[in-house]
């Protein structure tokens, strides 16, 4: 598996991260096979969140991987906190208690990465900074980042937070590419020209902040998977054509499309299917041409100015 540096850190991470939001759908033997296959593929970066099945997914993962000191040294663990039932909470008290719960469920003494999970309208950067300082000094968290935040929200945090924010999880796929389309359609009077995220893509590249695309196969907001969907005939025809050219699956090409972007993204894949997991990992070895990348972009219904 090809690796990249996570943001400005020295942490080497695989270009494909394994999302564990749905691991509670597997029984124990299947979960054990899944995590072992991930390790065999070199996909040793596992993404969690305390909200996933109320923390149950973290417990299932720890049991499935048979967490111990030897295993812990071979994997990279990321989790997220800040979402509560009906609200968001970036208070110092909540961040600290959330991390303690995450560590207990994952059966580990530390997280490699902690992300703030979506923006909190009531955030007080000074409280976040105090929490991060305490987590870093205690050794409970080594690196920090955010999820679904725009440049000014990140800058507001950085007003108080001294630790580098190394990653930002953002929804991005071939069919959910507004952050790319806005940059292509600058100064145009069309819908793709609307800047919906404050130029987060360019901001991330300027500040060496790794974008972690979530739902890389979804269209809309969890409306369905575009691969094989009758709603996207032209897109699927083009992806299948290019997949045949490389002798890989359509899944591989969909991930390779994200990896081809020079921002050095790290897609978070959410499949619990071992074959699709392996197909995602194969994207590490595929580098689409510029022409192929734009052909797929246009086939998704995106029009170039």
Active site residues: 52
CB atoms under 10 Å from CB of 229, counted, come to 15
Q: Which of 163, 152, 171, 84 is nearest to 128 (CA)?
A: 163
């Amino acid at each position: 598996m090809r690796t990249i540096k996570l943001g400005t850190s020295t942490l080497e991470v695989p270009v494909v991260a394994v999302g564990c939001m749905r691991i509670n759908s597997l029984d124990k033997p299947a979960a054990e096979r899944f995590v072992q296959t991930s390790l065999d593929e070199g996909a040793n970066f596992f993404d969690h969140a305390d909200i996933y099945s109320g923390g149950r997914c973290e417990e299932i993962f720890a049991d499935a991987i048979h967490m111990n000191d030897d295993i812990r040294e071979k994997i990279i663990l990321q989790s997220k906190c800040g979402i509560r039932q009906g609200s968001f909470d970036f208070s110092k008290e909540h961040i600290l208690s959330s991390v303690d719960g995450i560590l207990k469920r994952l059966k580990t003494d530390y997280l490699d990465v902690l992300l703030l999970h979506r923006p909190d309208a009531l955030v007080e950067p000074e409280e976040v900074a105090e929490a991060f300082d305490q987590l870093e000094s205690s050794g409970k968290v080594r690196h920090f980042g955010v999820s679904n935040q725009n440049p000014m929200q990140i800058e507001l945090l950085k007003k108080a937070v001294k630790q580098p924010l190394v990653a930002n999880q953002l929804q991005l796929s071939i069919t959910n590419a507004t952050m790319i389309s806005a940059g292509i359609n600058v100064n145009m009077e069309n819908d793709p020209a609307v800047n919906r995220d404050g130029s987060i893509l360019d901001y991330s590249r300027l500040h060496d902040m790794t974008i972690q695309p979530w739902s890389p196969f979804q269209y809309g907001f969890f409306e369905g998977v575009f691969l094989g969907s009758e709603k996207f005939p032209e897109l699927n025809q083009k992806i299948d054509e290019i997949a045949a050219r490389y002798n890989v699956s359509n899944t591989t090409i969909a991930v390779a499309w994200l990896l081809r972007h020079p921002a050095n993204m790290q897609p978070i894949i959410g499949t619990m299917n071992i074959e699709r997991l392996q197909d995602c990992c194969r994207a590490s070895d595929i580098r689409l041409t510029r022409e192929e990348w734009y052909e797929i972009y246009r086939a998704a219904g995106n029009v170039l100015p």
